[in-house]
Amino acid sequence: MIGQEIENLIRTISRLPGLGSRSARRIALFLVKNRNSQIETLVSALKEVQEKVKICPVCGNYDTLDPCSICSDNRRDEKTICIVQDVADLWAMERTSAFKGKYHVLGGVLSALDGIGPEDLGLDKLLQRVQSNNIEEIVLALPATVDGQTTSHYIAEIMRETGAKVSSLAHGVPVGGELDYLDDGTIQTALKARYTL
């Protein structure tokens, strides 16, 4: 006996990632209660994004600028590009402020199971970008999964002819991590990659 407008809002919200029907109901009720203040704000934020945000043709980032604010920032080192799987990973890298180069968003990783091959990731476009801009270093920040690492090795292989240095984020014990809670693979990798103090 919930009105269909509210039911429809709950259904729409519950389709968002990470939200189940319970959290969707809670959010919908909050919006219904604050419909004069919150809905207006949310609708205008959504419309702004819908109207203005585009995919950067250079790196694949989302931005209102074309090329995006990272690609058009002259203070960033354009000879180093970091390769990430997704824009979420680009955001994660940016939050650290530790990387001062530019990016390339793959949009996925090679996957035999899902039938994703090199042509689906536009790796030829990446190769062309590296060659025509004389990129000096490619930092691979792909997921530490089997598919992610396969992709890293594949990219390292095709970049060999360009002469660019190819590196990857280090694998090991996460900062603040307890050994007891880590999987064997991570501990083995961290042991192999141990460094001298």
Summarize as ranges the residues that interact with its own copies (CB under 8 A): 1-6, 8-9, 12-13, 15-19, 23, 25-33, 35-36, 38-43, 45-50, 52-53, 62-65, 68-70, 73, 86-88, 91, 94
The span from the CA of 135 to the CA of 129, in Å, is: 8
Select from 150, 89, 96 the least CA-distant residue to 123: 150
Q: Name the phi and psi angles at 4, rounded to 5.
A: -70, -25
DSSP helix, strand, coil percent of the chain (3-state; round to 5): 45, 10, 45
CB of 183 to its own copies, least distance (A): 22
d(C-alpha 138, C-alpha 144), whole Å: 17
Choice between 40 and 161, CB closer to its own copies: 40
* Smallest separation (angstroms) from its own copies to the CB of 17: 5
| Least distance CB 176 / its own copies (angstroms) | 17
Closer CB to its own copies, 91 or 193, in the complex: 91
